[in-house]
């Protein structure tokens, strides 16, 4: 579990209680629950997946880069979301029990309305020196929360569609979906640091492994005291609890070894041990045993690749000033750099750990008892099922790196907008997202700058 995993876990834990409160099997007949899915419902699913899975994240990235396309894209997303909401309440055929997905749909109107209101306020350019700077920050926080909200709602949608995670299955669903989401978030953060975040890591004065070790330790403490219920200890209780102990014990060592901006392989080693434990996790179905085994092997591979990346591939930095000095000198082997615009093999290797983490997260999320019982009843073998999950992982990682790449080439980061001295030149194309000038600076009325870092 990582920083992004904790952020994903909180809304899942908060909203999952609504599933327990809506166990109304007697409200739907068997015919209603098994009726065909009509065209309107499929349109609702596809539209909302496209808007929340692709359109809104793209708009968020364009907001971060201060692109002129941010506002039009987000406005389109708001309109399509409203249309999708109407479709979701207009379909015929199959009916669904009340649950978290429907409640989350209503909750999502709060950040949507707030973001819309904040965006309009920012375009008015009032209270420039007092309220506006705080509104800019709030607008950014809400915008950056959209991918997390979207991920949670799409999970709830899949759960509602299949009728999973009710009665005694809620605990297992939470364990698989939260931990799997954590691995995907971990891989996303690794990709961010690889493609655009190295300078931030240098300025922070903390290595990525220091942050990882803290999250692993804290999450291990939580798991140690929450995985066992009742008086009798099952094999799974013991395995899950000792994993919690492993995480907080290893996290303590990782924090110590990665102090003073030093790299540490302890988080990667914990990933390997966790993968090994999951690969030999006792399961009721042979299909489930094999899926858990591949998940474990994939997670072990991610940890091993991370160790190789830390020890032999990642660039090394040296500080040549006082603590906090942002002008540290970079010391790195030439083989790590891009040569004539072609990515070096060493840098290409650094995509392996985050991709394997994304793949392992998807495999773990797809390995609940209910899902695998359904797959087994459909006559699908483990090879087909696992390859489907890896195919989805390829698509998901493609989306992740594409959005990161979009940030590097759009708005203020576009090559045409960045002169040789590294500053952003004000032109007619980017004036809408340029910083508001200080009060003491004179600005010609005809060319008043009215943009900001809206995202």
340 and 217 belong to one structural domain = no
Beta bridge partners of 316: 331
The answer to whether 2 and 189 have CB atoms below 8 angstroms apart is yes
Residue 23: the pLDDT is 40
Domain count, the chain: 2
187 and 261 belong to one structural domain = yes
Rounded CA-CA distance 421/401 in Å is 27
Domain assignment present for residue 406? The answer is: yes
Residue 1: the pLDDT is 45
User: Could you report the per-residue pLDDT of 266-276, keeping only the tens digit for each?
Assistant: 999 999 999 99
Residue 348: the pLDDT is 82
308 and 325 belong to one structural domain = no
User: Could you report the per-residue pLDDT of 323-343, keeping only the tens digit for each?
Assistant: 444 444 444 443 344 544 455
The structure's pTM equals: 0.79
Residues in the chain: 455
244 and 324 belong to one structural domain = no
Contacts of residue 34, defined as CB under 8 A and 6 or more positions apart, other chains included, come to 94
Residue 394: the pLDDT is 97
Domain assignment present for residue 179? The answer is: yes
Kindly calculate the radius of gyration of the chain based on its CA atoms and give it in whole angstroms: 24
Domain assignment present for residue 9? The answer is: no
Residue 156: the pLDDT is 93
Residue 344: the pLDDT is 63
3-state class of 318 per DSSP?
Answer: strand
The answer to whether 272 and 290 have CB atoms below 8 angstroms apart is no
Domain assignment present for residue 228? The answer is: yes
262 and 335 belong to one structural domain = no
Domain assignment present for residue 362? The answer is: yes
Residue 268: the pLDDT is 95
Domain assignment of residue 358, given as a range: 169-313+350-413
Spans in the chain with pLDDT lower than 70: 1-34, 228-230, 282, 315-345, 417-455
249 and 330 belong to one structural domain = no
Separation in Å, CA 1 to CA 167, 183, 186, 266: 26, 6, 7, 14
> Tokens 């040789």, residue?
420
Domain assignment present for residue 354? The answer is: yes
Domain assignment present for residue 60? The answer is: no
259 and 177 belong to one structural domain = yes
331 and 308 belong to one structural domain = no
278 and 365 belong to one structural domain = yes
φ, ψ at 328 (rounded to 5°): -75, 150
Q: Smallest Cα–Cα separation from 452: which of 438, 440, 441, 436?
A: 436
Residue 294: the pLDDT is 94
Rounded CA-CA distance 49/88 in Å is 12
CA triple 214-314-196, angle to 5 deg: 80
Residue 14: the pLDDT is 44
267 and 286 belong to one structural domain = yes
193 and 218 belong to one structural domain = yes
193 and 320 belong to one structural domain = no
Domain assignment present for residue 403? The answer is: yes
Rounded CA-CA distance 253/251 in Å is 5
């Amino acid at each position: 579990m990582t920083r992004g995993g904790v952020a994903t876990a909180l809304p899942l834990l908060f909203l999952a209680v609504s599933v327990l409160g809506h166990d109304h099997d007697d409200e739907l007949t068997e015919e209603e629950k098994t009726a065909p899915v009509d065209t309107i419902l499929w349109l609702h699913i596809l539209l909302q997946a496209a808007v929340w899975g692709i359109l809104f994240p793209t708009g968020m990235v364009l907001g971060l880069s201060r692109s002129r396309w941010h506002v039009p894209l987000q406005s389109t997303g708001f309109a399509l979301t409203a249309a999708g909401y109407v479709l979701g309440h207009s379909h015929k055929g199959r009916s669904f029990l009340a649950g978290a997905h429907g409640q989350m749909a209503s909750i999502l109107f709060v950040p949507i309305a707030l973001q819309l209101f904040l965006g309009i306020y920012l375009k008015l350019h009032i209270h420039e020196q007092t309220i506006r700077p705080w509104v800019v920050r709030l607008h950014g926080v809400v915008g950056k929360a959209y991918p997390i909200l979207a991920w949670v709602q799409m999970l709830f949608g899949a759960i509602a569609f299949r009728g999973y995670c009710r009665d005694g299955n809620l605990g297992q669903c939470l364990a698989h979906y939260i931990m799997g989401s954590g691995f995907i978030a971990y891989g996303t953060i690794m990709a961010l640091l690889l493609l655009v975040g190295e300078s931030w890591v240098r300025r922070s004065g903390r290595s990525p492994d220091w942050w990882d070790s803290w999250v692993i330790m804290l999450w291990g403490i939580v798991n140690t005291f929450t995985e066992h219920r009742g008086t009798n200890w099952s094999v799974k209780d013991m395995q899950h609890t000792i994993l919690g102990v492993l995480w907080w014990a290893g996290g303590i060592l990782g924090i110590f070894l990665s102090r003073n901006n030093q790299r540490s392989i302890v988080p990667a080693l914990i990933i390997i041990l966790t993968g090994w434990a999951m690969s030999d996790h006792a399961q009721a179905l042979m299909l489930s045993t094999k899926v858990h085994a591949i998940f474990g092997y994939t997670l072990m591979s991610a940890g091993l690749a991370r160790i190789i990346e830390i020890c032999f591939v990642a660039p090394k930095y040296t500080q040549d000033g006082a603590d906090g000095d942002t002008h540290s000198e970079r010391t790195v082997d030439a083989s790590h750099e891009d040569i004539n615009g072609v990515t070096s093999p060493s840098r290409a290797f650094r995509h392996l750990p985050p991709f394997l983490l994304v793949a392992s997260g998807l495999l773990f999320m797809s390995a609940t008892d209910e899902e695998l019982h359904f797959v087994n009843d459909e006559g699908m073998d483990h090879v087909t099922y696992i390859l489907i999950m890896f195919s989805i992982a390829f698509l998901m990682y493609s989306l992740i790196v594409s959005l990161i790449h979009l940030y590097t080439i759009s708005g203020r980061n576009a090559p045409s907008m960045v002169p040789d001295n590294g500053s952003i030149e004000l032109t007619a194309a980017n004036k809408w997202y340029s910083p508001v000038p200080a009060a003491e600076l004179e600005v010609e009325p005809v060319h008043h700058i009215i943009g900001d870092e809206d995202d």
